[in-house]
Amino acid sequence: MIELVQRAVEATLAAGASDAEAYASEDAGREVRAHGGKVESLTAATRRGVGVRAWVGTRVGYAYGTDLSEPGISALASRAAAAAGIADEDEFAGPPELPVRLMRDGAVKGAPEAQPELVLSDASLAEWGAGRVADLALAIERAALAADPRVAGVEQAVYADSAERIAIASSRGVGGEYETSSCYGYAQALAEGEGGRETGLGFGLGRGPAALDPEEIGREAAGRATAMIGAGKPESRSCPVLLDPTVAASFVSLIGSALSAGAVQRGRSPFAERIGERVADAAFVLHDDGLDPDGFGSAPFDGEGVPHRRTALIEGGSLHTYLYDTYAARRGAAASTGNAGRGGYRTLPSVAISNLIVAPGELGFGELLTEAGEGVFIDDVAGLHSGVNPVTGVFSVGASGRAIRGGELAEPLREFTIASDLVSMLTAVSAAGAEPRWVPFGGSVSTPPLLIAAMTVAGS
């Protein structure tokens, strides 16, 4: 595939660009949806496409397409150059200058820090046929139904996987490719009791299907759904709040977006102009690490070929740095942190997290409850995309969970909101739990449960 992207770069230069970069991906994926003991749908697909960034002086344009024939690439190159003609000049625009060499096997030569050997693919993905992964989805559904008699059904049990090859090349000599695989399984269980119905999500992630435990996924879905039976509204008040890792991850992902240098430079981040300042309690330690062997955002290099690395964002309660891609780095007179993200070949690179990792603390789940004393355990949040102001970090989101009474989980709670702002929340973190979990909602995040000393809960 490296030949393809190199050809696209040459075509774009021939179309009048002064610099060019091409990114291609090809993936083979499957998805199984199971319901009522039957396979509802089985999808097999291959996807491939290329996206080209063209610089004409300091103007930049982008084009993508799925026609990889010679004329297709040439039309794509012309569209990219034409798109650059529409854009205004921008003094910071330009391709990354790299002191390293990217290799075909995904290795990076000449990187300032030694790069770990990344194993991003799992053989079980190719070894398991369609029948076997369909059985896995069915097993997830069975496990959810068997876990508790109050589970009335499973709305959907899903298995999906993807084996992807990514290649990138630019007119400044960048050229590399790598392979990665991933899969997930999830189920949404329906539980009934006390005249009501509740839903619960269970999920698992892996590089291949052998890493998924259908029993555990089904049990988690059933457990979350049945725990909510008979839920009522909490009393409106300010109190300690304990965030489940799935919920903490959603907030951490928002914090990651707010730490994008792009957002900061355009004055759209609550963390703007706060480098070196106290923005969190010392119990909250945050890194971005694009090389973590267990992270699903791991890769040898980012969406514009800059090597991934580990970056300390918040440590000792203070803000250390923002996340940079090449453009933001030039504009902020800083170095790229290898955080140019891509939503595939169809989007321009922009600053994005690779894997965000919240450092685990000392306390087990029970000890966190004891520490909370009287408060609310938040198991799920809804409306994050509409309930958070990204500029100010002020949020109010729907939530459900359990009351905490006398340091123990008590009655289930639903239909209430929690409200605060991101910085106030971070400075109110009083403990991080000892057991982290990888959560794929809104990027790749690993976080333990987080205890927040006080937050507004609005219910009855």
Partner 1 sequence: MSELIEREVAERVLGRALARGGEFAEIFAERSGGLTLAIDESRIESVQSGAAEGAGVRVVSDGTTYFAHVDGLDPDDLERAAGEAAAALRADRAEPRPLEAVTSAPFPIAQPPAAVPAERKAALLRELDERGRGAGAEIAQLTASYAEIRREVAVANSDGLLAGDDRTRVRIGAQAVARRGDRVETGAETLGGHRGFELFDGDPGEIAASAAGKALTLLDAGPAPAGSMPVVVGGGFGGVLFHEMTGHGLEADHVQKGASVYAGKLGEMVAQPLLTAYDDGRMPGEWGSDAIDDEGTPTQKTMVIEDGRLTAFLYDRLTAGRDKAAPTGNGRRESFRHLPVPRMTNTYIAPGEATPESMIAEVQRGFYAVSFAGGQVDPATGDFVFGVSEGYLIEAGEVSRPCRGATLIGNCLEALAAIDAVGDDFEMKTGVCGKAGQKVPVGTGQGHVRIGAMTVGGTEV
Binding mask 274-313 for partner 1 (x = CB under 8 A): ----------------------------------------
- Residue of 166, 24, 21 lying closest to 106 (CA atoms): 166
**Residue 329 interacting with partner 1 (CB under 8 A):** no
Instruction: Please report how close the Cβ of residue 289 comes to partner 1 at its closest, in angstroms.
Output: 27
Cα angle, residue 48 at apex, residues 77 and 176 outer, rounded to 5°: 75
Distance CA 221, CA 190 (A): 9
Q: Which stretch binds partner 1 (CB under 8 A): 264-272, 296-304, 336-344, 370-378?
A: 264-272
In the complex with partner 1, which residue's Cβ is closer, 115 or 444? 444
Binding mask 86-115 for partner 1 (x = CB under 8 A): xxx-x-------------------------
Instruction: Please report how close the Cβ of residue 89 comes to partner 1 at its closest, in angstroms.
Output: 8
Instruction: Collect all residues with Cβ–Cβ distance below 8 Å to 296 and sequence separation of at least 6.
Output: 182, 205, 355, 438, 440, 444
Distance CA 242, CA 425 (A): 12
What is the chain's Cα-based Rg? 24
**Residue 15 interacting with partner 1 (CB under 8 A):** no
**Residue 459 interacting with partner 1 (CB under 8 A):** yes
Q: Which stretch binds partner 1 (CB under 8 A): 16-24, 55-63, 120-128, 317-325?
A: 55-63
In the complex with partner 1, which residue's Cβ is closer, 6 or 156? 156
In the complex with partner 1, which residue's Cβ is closer, 109 or 233? 233
**Residue 85 interacting with partner 1 (CB under 8 A):** yes
Residues 130-149 that bind partner 1 (CB under 8 A): 130-131
Instruction: Please report how close the Cβ of residue 443 comes to partner 1 at its closest, in angstroms.
Output: 16
Question: In the set 347, 359, 364, 407, which binds partner 1 (CB under 8 A)?
Answer: 347
Question: In the set 79, 287, 342, 402, which binds partner 1 (CB under 8 A)?
Answer: 79
Residue 198, CA atoms < 13 Å, CB-side half-sphere: 28
Question: How many residues in the chain?
Answer: 460
**Residue 83 interacting with partner 1 (CB under 8 A):** yes
Residues 411-450 that bind partner 1 (CB under 8 A): 414-420
In the complex with partner 1, which residue's Cβ is closer, 118 or 125? 125
**Identity at 101, one-letter amino acid code:** R
Question: In the set 3, 40, 70, 411, which binds partner 1 (CB under 8 A)?
Answer: 40
**Residue 16 interacting with partner 1 (CB under 8 A):** no
In the complex with partner 1, which residue's Cβ is closer, 64 or 290? 64
Instruction: Please report how close the Cβ of residue 191 comes to partner 1 at its closest, in angstroms.
Output: 10
Binding mask 192-231 for partner 1 (x = CB under 8 A): ----xxxx--------------------------------
Tokens 């440590």 locate to 315
Instruction: Please report how close the Cβ of residue 156 comes to partner 1 at its closest, in angstroms.
Output: 8
Task: Identify the bridge partners of residue 30 per DSSP, sorted by sequence position.
Answer: 44, 161
Residues 386-405 that bind partner 1 (CB under 8 A): 386-392, 394-398, 400
Distance CA 337, CA 354 (A): 10
Cα angle, residue 43 at apex, residues 177 and 210 outer, rounded to 5°: 65
**Residue 80 interacting with partner 1 (CB under 8 A):** yes
In the complex with partner 1, which residue's Cβ is closer, 106 or 262? 262
**Residue 172 interacting with partner 1 (CB under 8 A):** no
- Binding-residue total with partner 1 (CB under 8 A): 82
